[in-house]
């Protein structure tokens, strides 16, 4: 029997997945979580064979940006758990981040149910499962050109935040923020920070 925990901030999706997976004789849903902190707790409690992890989840007080950012803490809580990232956002940068953080599978949410079930069985056997189109796109795009600080500052600029507001958010001086923004814009070949943020977001780099 393969034990599973489902982490997704949308209750309807969690419930639907749990119902479908529990119909399989060799699969059992042990727990569910709706945020990153809850995911760490559920994984630590149930020690599942497989975790289905959403990307865009609230941190729940864990102090992380999203599900991918929480992956190291999740795997520390249960090192033997095999993680499949299951996301609405099929972005090549997300795939690279997921695999670098320890995930062994990456699928988008419109994946057919039978393919998802087969993916769970495969990763439980020690194999990897990655959406082939995303894998090809990730290879063609390559790694993010942004440094961690550039990505952080660029993400904090969302919504048109001022340099002063960004500086307060990321605990850097305004001059340093301006330098990081300028560098990020240059690396991404953008005309301004809004365009740079859009490019980075579409590729899953922030």
What is the per-residue pLDDT across 45-101, written as a single tens digit (0 to 9) for each? 999 999 999 998 999 988 888 999 999 999 999 999 999 999 887 776 788 788 888
Indicate the pTM of the whole model: 0.71
| pLDDT digit string, tens, across residues 89-136 | 777 678 878 888 899 998 988 888 999 999 999 999 999 998 766 665
Tell me how far apart the alpha carbons of residues 68 and 71 are, in angstroms, rounded to a whole number: 5
> What is the bridge-based pairing of β-strands 50-53 and 2-7?
parallel
In this structure, are 60 and 131 located in the same domain? yes
Contacts of 105 (CB under 8 A, 6+ apart): 82, 83, 84, 85, 119, 122, 123, 128, 129, 130
Report the number of distinct structural domains present in the chain.
Answer: 2
Tell me how far apart the alpha carbons of residues 128 and 6 are, in angstroms, rounded to a whole number: 18
The H-assigned helical ranges of the chain are 11-22, 36-46, 67-77, 92-100, 113-124, 132-141, 148-156, 163-170, 174-187, 193-202
Tell me how far apart the alpha carbons of residues 38 and 60 are, in angstroms, rounded to a whole number: 7
pLDDT of residue 74: 96
Domain extent at residue 122: 2-140
In this structure, are 63 and 115 located in the same domain? yes
pLDDT of residue 35: 96
Of the three residues 115, 140, 165, the one that is the final residue of a domain is: 140
In this structure, are 29 and 90 located in the same domain? yes
Tell me how far apart the alpha carbons of residues 31 and 48 are, in angstroms, rounded to a whole number: 9
Compute the radius of gyration of the chain from its Cα atoms: 18
Q: How distant, in Å, are the alpha carbons of 8, 16, 43, 124, 183 from that of 80?
A: 21, 26, 10, 10, 40
Greatest C-alpha distance within the chain: 59
Of the three residues 119, 140, 161, the one that is the final residue of a domain is: 140
Provide the CATH number for the domain around residue 101. Answer: 3.40.50.2300
In this structure, are 77 and 12 located in the same domain? yes
Provide the CATH number for the domain around residue 170. Answer: 1.10.10.10
Tell me what the pLDDT averaged over the chain comes to: 89
Tell me how far apart the alpha carbons of residues 114 and 20 are, in angstroms, rounded to a whole number: 10
């Amino acid at each position: 029997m393969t034990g599973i925990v489902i982490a997704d901030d949308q209750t309807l999706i969690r419930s639907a997945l749990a119902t479908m997976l529990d119909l399989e004789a060799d699969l059992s849903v042990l727990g569910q979580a709706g945020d990153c902190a809850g995911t760490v707790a559920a994984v630590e409690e149930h020690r599942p064979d497989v975790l289905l992890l959403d990307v865009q989840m609230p941190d729940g007080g864990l102090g992380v940006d999203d599900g991918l950012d929480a992956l190291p803490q999740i795997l520390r809580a249960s090192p033997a758990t095999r993680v499949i990232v299951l996301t609405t956002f099929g972005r090549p940068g997300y795939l690279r981040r997921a695999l670098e953080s320890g995930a062994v599978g990456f699928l988008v949410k419109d994946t057919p149910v039978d393919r998802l079930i087969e993916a769970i069985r495969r990763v439980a056997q020690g194999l990897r499962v990655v959406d082939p189109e995303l894998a090809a796109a990730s290879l063609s795009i390559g790694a993010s050109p942004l440094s961690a600080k550039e990505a952080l500052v660029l993400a904090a600029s969302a919504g048109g935040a001022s340099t002063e507001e960004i500086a307060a958010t990321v605990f850097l001086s305004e001059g340093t923020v301006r330098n990081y923004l300028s560098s990020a814009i240059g690396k991404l070949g953008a005309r301004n920070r809004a365009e740079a943020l859009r490019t980075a977001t579409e590729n899953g780099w922030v």
